[in-house]
Amino acid sequence: MTLAKYPIYASVAALVFDGAAALADEATSAQKSEGVQEVVVTAQRRAETLQKSSLAIQAVGAGEIAQAGVTQATDLNQLVPGLQIGQGGSQTQIFIRGVGDYSGSPISNPGVAFNVDGVYVGRPQAVSSTFYDVERIEVLKGPQGTLYGRNASGGAINLITRKPTFDGTSGYVTLEGGSYALKHGTGALNVPFGATLAVRGAFDVVDRDGYLTDGTGDDKHAAGRIQALWQPSDSVSILTSVDYAHRHGEGVGYVSQPRPSGSSDFLGSTDPASLGFLAAQVPLGGLMLTGGIGHPNPHLDQTFWNASTEIRFDMDWATLTILPAYRHVQSFEQNYAVQENIQSSSNREITNEVRLNHDGEKTKWVAGLYYYYEDQVSTYDEDFGIPFSGSFAIPINKTHSYAGFGQLSYSVLNDFRVIAGVRYTEDRRKLAGGSTAVNFGFPSAEQYQGSHSFDSVTWKGGLEYDLTPDNMLFFTASTGYKAGGLNAAAGTTVYAPEKLKAYELGLRNRFLNDRLQVNLEVFKWDYDNHQEFVITFDAAGSVNAIIENAGKASIEGFDLDVKARLTQNDTFGFAVEYNNAKYDSFVVDAAAVAVNPGGVQSTGCEVGPSAQGPAQVTLDCSGFQLARAPLWSAQASLEHHFNLPNNADLVASANAQFTSPRWGSVDFTPNTRFPASTTGNFDLTYTPDRGRWSLSAFVRNVGDKRVATTASQNLFQPNMAYLIVNPPRTYGGRITVNF
């Protein structure tokens, strides 16, 4: 990729270089003052400052997490441009620059790897309930095929919790209350037992009513974590972690688009007014209420158990790390979008990673082996309403995954380094089960059973050059993939892995004695074999939702991140991402009856005849912007400290987020197109001398805007879609006591 081919990128790069020269001149006469805080990250399996990393990475610290009120994954949308997180029922759908996974199936694969303290979280339901006592969150944009492997084609999110220390007994408790009857308590206690053992316990309890008119959209969960660190010597450490979480309540809710005239922006789909609106729709709206959706009972009940042990041996030449882990998910949910959805699953995951790290002055490398096992039994029941369609399925899914990997950074010169890495992965997948269904009035029953193996080699190469001690230029090329699998339908058809190749050109800069930080990244991604859910005929002739490889996409743009210490009391941040993401090819066959029910088309794609016969049609969605991939997204923040008498501190912080129009799903209908949105938040915190306690007040979504994150097209009523939306304006206060 050459910058001459992309003039907008060349212009941005020239602007930064010219600005760098001017600011460097200013810095020679600037008086030394406290600068932008350095951030240490461990995304490359070693500790390094973010400014010395050639990853496309954004790190969010504990202070930002607390101010933003992050208690679940969707709250991260307001902090990281280019990151779009929504829900498919209780399943977290994470997209980075349009790469992720849209399906709500319990056996599908995410496209962005989520890790807690280095342990991969395979089931999207288990991502929430982990956002407490957090040290930082690292968001890695782009394929992480070398160090993170499968299902990291779009990137990775690393959640790093606070660890036990030997610095003495300490802790904190935070109590928060606010709108929608919010009651939130969180805290931690660190206790050292002598010179070799330290224990840290943490908890998080949230009880908030739903913000939709039918009571859905609530947040009710309790979680706890205990970590024990044993260091019998300077060269050996063993960290054991056990955590538990329980989520319950009514769960995620939906709003219809359109909705009754004059109704609330947050009218829930099971509100009587919303059901009445559906019943009035022609031709099929009234008949849809004859099934379960006409007698709604939304419910969520999930339990999570996790345990891991990280064993480290520091040797003279390398550090050996062994990280075995076990995760268990028990989930039940009942929600109502375009139909009644009842899903339950029991899932267990076993992982183990063994790696060697060498962190020398000239050579840095990591090599290791990885194993992943998943065993899942699921049931899902979908009721569209008699006599149209409904199904009940019991898939049993097993996965064994094995990998070997290595990555090297070598200093050819003091200021010039080369990077090379490779990973080999083999996935062995098995699927068995059966289903019964009523497809448009025709009953069917089928069994499925099969197995398939996939293997992939992913790699990374790159260059890093220190222009000055405070300015680094880098270029990387890397690949990643999202695992293939088997469809829970007759014939047990196989869908291939997604693959992504990325080119990244970046600058890391600090100016004015570290008071100004300017980071720029220009990227171009090639996205192949993207996996999409399609309603089509399976091998038994039944209409079924299966995953198909739909084609190719191109993703290109730039990411600019600026942080400035304007004065000793003022810090400003600004980040913007331009992401031109389009499907070069997106062609699939679909069931004609699902695309054109009642004579109204339920897709915005071009529809044509299929070689499979008149019962099928061909959908051509080529040229559309990728779903969940806004062309522009930006975030700005300003923090000001008021110096009060007696060394007290009053901090006012405000931030705003902007997202340009984007598609909520690959249906590409007008009702699944989200408009541009701008939201803002405000936080005011008072801390007396010595910081023993603090008192805060906050307002989130100040403008009370409705911002949608997920869309589902109603196949039976093509003029309607159902959306999941973020909370309206909320407010409250919190008190924190440190000891």
Domains of the chain, first to last: 3-738 (2.40.170.20)
Please say if the pLDDT value at position 632 is more than 70: yes
Tokens of 41: 């990250």
Give Rg (Cα) of the chain: 26
Q: Can you give the pLDDT at residue 24?
A: 39
The pLDDT mean for the chain works out to 90
Mean local confidence (pLDDT), 275-285: 85
What confidence category does residue 285 fall into, taking pLDDT thresholds of 50, 70 and 90? Answer: confident
Q: What is the pLDDT of residue 215?
A: 95
Confidence grade of residue 440 (pLDDT, cut at 50, 70, 90)? low
One-letter amino acid of 586: F
Residue 390: pLDDT band (50, 70, 90) is confident
Judged against a pLDDT cut of 50, whether residue 13 lies above it is answered with no
Given a cut of 60, is residue 327 above it in pLDDT? yes
Calculate what percentage of the chain has a pLDDT beyond 70: 93
Residue with tokens 């989130």: 700
Res 2: pLDDT: 42
Higher local confidence (pLDDT), 128 or 671: 671
Q: Give the pLDDT band (50/70/90) at residue 579.
A: very high
CA dihedral 671, 672, 673, 676 (to 10 degrees): 100
Which pLDDT tens digit goes with each residue over 537-556?
888 888 888 899 998 999 99
pLDDT of residue 389: 62
Residue 437 has what pLDDT?
A: 78
Residue 599 scores a pLDDT above 70: no
Residue 597, preceding bond cis, omega within 30 degrees?
no
The whole-number pLDDT of residue 696 equals 97
| Tokens 């699921």 found at | 378
In the predicted model, what is the mean pLDDT of residues 408-423? 97
Containing 185, the helix (H) or strand (E) segment is strand 182-193
34 confidence band (pLDDT: 50, 70, 90): confident
Higher pLDDT, 437 or 564: 564
Please tell me the chain's helix, strand, coil percentages from 3-state DSSP, rounded to the nearest 5. 10, 60, 30
Burial class (CB in 10 A: 0-12, 13-18, 19+), 78: buried
Using an 8 Å Cβ cutoff, are 392 and 546 in contact?
Answer: no
Which pLDDT belongs to residue 492?
Answer: 87
Q: Is the pLDDT of residue 691 over 50?
A: yes
- Each residue's pLDDT tens digit, 471-511: 999 999 999 999 999 998 888 899 999 999 999 999 999 99
pLDDT at 123 over 50: yes
Mean pLDDT check: name the lowest of 177-191, 273-287, 306-320, 717-731: 273-287
Q: Quote the DSSP letter at residue 323.
A: E
Residue 387's pLDDT band (cuts 50, 70, 90): low
List, for residues 441-450, the tens digit of each pLDDT value. Answer: 667 788 999 9
Task: Report DSSP state, residue 286.
Answer: H
DSSP characters over 624-686? PBPTT--SEEEEEEEEEEEE-GGG-EEEEEEEEEEE--EESSTT--GGGEEPPEEEEEEEEEE
Q: pLDDT: is 294 or 243 the higher one?
A: 243
Q: How many CB atoms lie within 10 A of CB 2?
A: 8
| Range of lowest pLDDT (467-476, 521-530, 593-602) | 593-602
Q: Is 372 within 8 Å of 399 (Cβ atoms)?
A: yes
